[in-house]
Structure 1
Amino acid sequence: MFKKMDQKPTGTLLELAAKSLLSNELAALHALDELPRDLFVPLFVPAFLGRHKEILKAMAPKTEALRLKAGPGLSMLQFLDARCIDHLQVDLCHLRDVNTLVAQTAHLYSLHLSNIRFTCFEQRHFQAFLHCLGKLDSLQELDLSALYLRDRLHRLLRVLPPQIETLNLSFCGLSYKDITILSQSSQATHLKQLNLNHNQVFSEAYEPFQTLLQRASGTLKHLEINNCLLTDSTLSVLLPALSHCLCLRVLSFAFNPITMPVLMSVLQHLTSLMELKHVIYPVPLHCYRQWDVPGSLDRQQLAEVQAQLKAMLQAVQRDDMLWTTHSV
């Protein structure tokens, strides 16, 4: 009778390569000058866990991009010269930990925060965060996905560089006041990428959003407004402003309750935007037995919608424009 052997995962090829490299510290130190920068971050964690202090010290000045999570990642900071980092992504941390880290940086170009724990009762941490941001004169990309900012956006925009190009405010609980402030901000005329997904406010905030589109029309290239409660009437009002965004390359407005006639109107307005190559649109309401309910989608109806849109694009010779959808 044979005894079943335990099967242990062998790890990814990248993990195995890092382990092999770290097994010979002298060779690893010599290899750092030839190692691609993209491999520095994956090498940091095994080097830290294996207590390869000399390798960590040698890597620190060469590291420009860093992604950290709560636990071992925070850290590694004792070996890292944060002034060398220009791209930083932090996940699953408390805002106070983010403040400690960002305060050490000086030349951040890109800051991405995700699932940062923060409550409205911790104003001192938010104020410290704003203080840190106010010192990042080189910041061009800011991702604050899921950081609750309701009625606080004016404080954030006040400290951000006016030339910031990328702003991700998805799942931030934005209010009518926030959209109004954003539309009037100095940043609005410089934005190239804007993500407002999952802020269900546009049924009441279409006027300031219309102003925002008008002010961003000369620079905006990538716009995401998925699941924002955009209705037929709201989208129809926004179409003239949207059709003047001549730089727009990607538009995503999926998971909004739109009917087929309005969707066709959107296509007719947007085909004149020659830079626009990819549109992610919502499945029209008539394709659902009950909108936004999993399993209620009529695939045959959706196929007919897709065929009709394709025919419309061919009729105006815009085969270069890709229209796709995310179905519920």
Structure 2
Amino acid sequence: MSVRTPPRLLELAGRSLLRDQALTMSTLEELPTELFPPMFLEAFSGRRCEALKLMVQAWPFRRLPLRPLIKMGCLETFQAVLDGLDALLTQGVRLSCKKLRILGMPFHNIRNILKMVNLDCIQEVEVNCSWILPILTQFTPYLGQMRNLQKLDLSHVDVSHYVSTKQKEFVTQFTSQFLKLHYLQKLYMNSVSFLEGHLDQLLSCLKTPLKILAITNCVLLESDLRHLSQCPSVSQLKTLDLRGIRLANLCLVPLQVLLGKVAATLEYLGLDDCGIVDSQVNTILPALSRCFELTTFSFCGNPISMATLENLLCHTIRLNNLCLELYPAPRDSYDAGGTLCWRRFAQLRAELMGRVRDLRHPKRILFCTDYCADCGNRTFYGLEVDQCCC
């Protein structure tokens, strides 16, 4: 039977202060520094908003990590932290942080926080919200001041319902900030509406080679793909993620060119749910077969036939570093109504198992079904008939 360590007197004193609502600025000034983190977490989890405001203003450390708080707390308690930061603004305090995460909150809070933060210290920014265009326009200049930024993650930024002139003004203002980001290495853009037809503007402003480029669930034109393949800053990519980019009606020659350019460095390639069909696969196969550093290849959700899948597996035969390969169940496994025939699927998997093992010794190959209409998930199956990974 385990024995729990009893709380120290200092911890009991801190809990008593919170419980009796006896916390004041003068009291906080007398508290030992080591007591602040556990008291702060207890105030946050207990939704003691007034105590949180005071503790933020008296915070004795150089950094106040906000990201974990977003995950564990409710909007009311996080708002109390922001109110405490707002109060610090009048004192001219500058916060030091490497990561900045921005969610859908009123912009005046964000603006006040940004004024307090030493923007040169920020190395990672995550913007995950649905802001209106005026707020995005006000935030954009702050981005250009984060000159040591290494990672930028934009998600669910939609300006499509604004008139084209306002969209164009925003795109010009936003992309121009990339000229000031001389250390950017990781760029993630998920469900970002303003890229369509404008990717060349953003890419032309990149000043350093990217290691990670993830453009997912966005709409791109064929011209965007062409500009992407010609961009000097993507020639050393280790990760290329294009999941959810609809490529069904596009010429994939630019993608072939891009894969050829990054063949010496690419380790992860994600092409899930791109709508790639049989006739398009042949275009990218020669370049794909030269990506010798590739460790993960994800190709789920593309409607290809058994013959094309066999051909694809044959072309990855020389990629000795491949540890994980994810493929869709061949279209031959489905009936005319789009329902998976399990017996036929098992038969085709057995055929693929024999074919692949005649050619090479794969480390891990999984085949996935389409999304389930009931649960919204996919089921993954290995080459063996009885191997399943949900």
- The TM tier, using the shorter chain, reads 0.7 to 0.9
Q: Please state how far the C-alpha of 1:200 moved relative to its aligned partner.
A: 2.1
Question: How far off is 1:230 after superposition?
Answer: 1.5
Deviation at 1:223, TM superposition (A): 1.1
- Seen in structure 2, the aligned counterparts of structure 1 residues 221 and 207 have a Cα distance that, compared at 3 Å, is same
1:137 aligned onto 2:171 = no
Q: What's the counterpart of residue 80 of structure 1?
A: 117
Give the direction of change, closer, same or farther, for the CA distance of 1:151–1:38 in structure 2 (3 Å limit): closer
1:5 is matched with none
Deviation per residue, 1:101-136 (Å, 9 max, x gap): 313322110001011122343211111101111110
SS of match in other structure, 1:241: helix
The 5 Å alignment of 1:146-295 reads 146-148=191-193, 149-201=195-247, 203-290=249-336
Q: CA deviation at 1:247?
A: 1.0
The answer to whether residue 159 in structure 2 is matched with residue 118 in structure 1 is yes
Instruction: Write the mapping of 1:48-127 to structure 2, written as runs, cut at 5 A.
Output: 48-50=79-81, 51-53=83-85, 61-72=95-106, 74-75=110-111, 76-91=113-128, 92-93=130-131, 94=133, 95-119=136-160, 120-122=164-166, 123-127=168-172
Task: Report sequence identity in percent.
Answer: 24
CA distance in 2, matches of 1:80, 1:313: 55
Question: 2:326·2:367 contact (CA, 8 Å) conserved in 1?
Answer: yes
Normalising by the residue count of structure 2, what TM-score does the alignment of the two structures yield? 0.69
Deviations 1:198-229 (A, max 9, x none): 22235431222111111110111111112223
TM-score by length of 1: 0.81
**Cα distance in 2, alignment partners of residues 236 and 74 from structure 1:** 48
**2:204 and 2:324 mapped to 1: Cα distance?**
33
Aligned-residue CA RMSD (Å):
3.5
- Cα 1:251–1:319 shift into 2, 3 Å: closer
Residue 128 of structure 1: aligned partner: 173
The Cα of 1:316 is off from its aligned counterpart by: 4.8
Give the AA of the match of 1:29: W
Are 1:16 and 2:45 matched, yes or no? yes
What's the offset of the Cα at 1:42?
A: 5.4
> Given residue 195 of structure 1, which amino acid in structure 2 is its aligned partner?
D
Q: Is the 8 A contact 2:314 2:359 kept in 1?
A: no
The equivalent residue for 1:25 is: 55
Would the alpha carbon gap of residues 214 and 59 (structure 1) be closer, same or farther in structure 2, given more than 3 Å must change? farther
Distance in 2, Cα, partners of 1:199 & 1:299: 29
* Structure 2 gap segments, 5+ residues each: 1-40, 372-390
Closer, same or farther in 2 for the Cα pair 1:43/1:198, shift >3 Å? closer
Question: Which is further off, 262-271 or 251-260?
Answer: 262-271
Q: Distance in 2 between matches of 1:172 and 1:189?
A: 22
Which structure 1 residue ranges, 5 or more long, are not aligned? Answer: 1-11
Shift of 1:251: 1.2
Per-residue CA deviation, residues 260-291 of structure 1 (Å, 9 max, x unaligned), is: 12112212221321111111212211122247
> Structure 1 residues 280 and 14 mapped into 2: Cα distance closer, same or farther (>3 Å)?
farther
Q: Please say if 1:299 is aligned against 2:330.
A: no
Larger RCO, structures 1/2 (Cα 8 Å, 6+ apart): 1
Quickly say closer, same or farther: Cα 1:35–1:98, change in 2 above 3 A.
closer
1:207-258 Cα offsets, whole Å, 9 max, x none, are 2211111111011111111222322122123212101001111111111110
Q: Is the 8 A contact 2:53 2:84 kept in 1?
A: no
| Cα pair distance change 1:144/1:34, threshold 3 Å | closer
C-alpha distance in structure 2 between counterparts of 1:28 and 1:307, whole Å: 66
Greater Rg over alpha carbons, structure: 2
* Residue identity in the other structure for 2:361: R
Q: Distance in 2 between matches of 1:306 and 1:19?
A: 57
- CA pair 17-189 structure 1, distance change in 2 beyond 3 A: farther
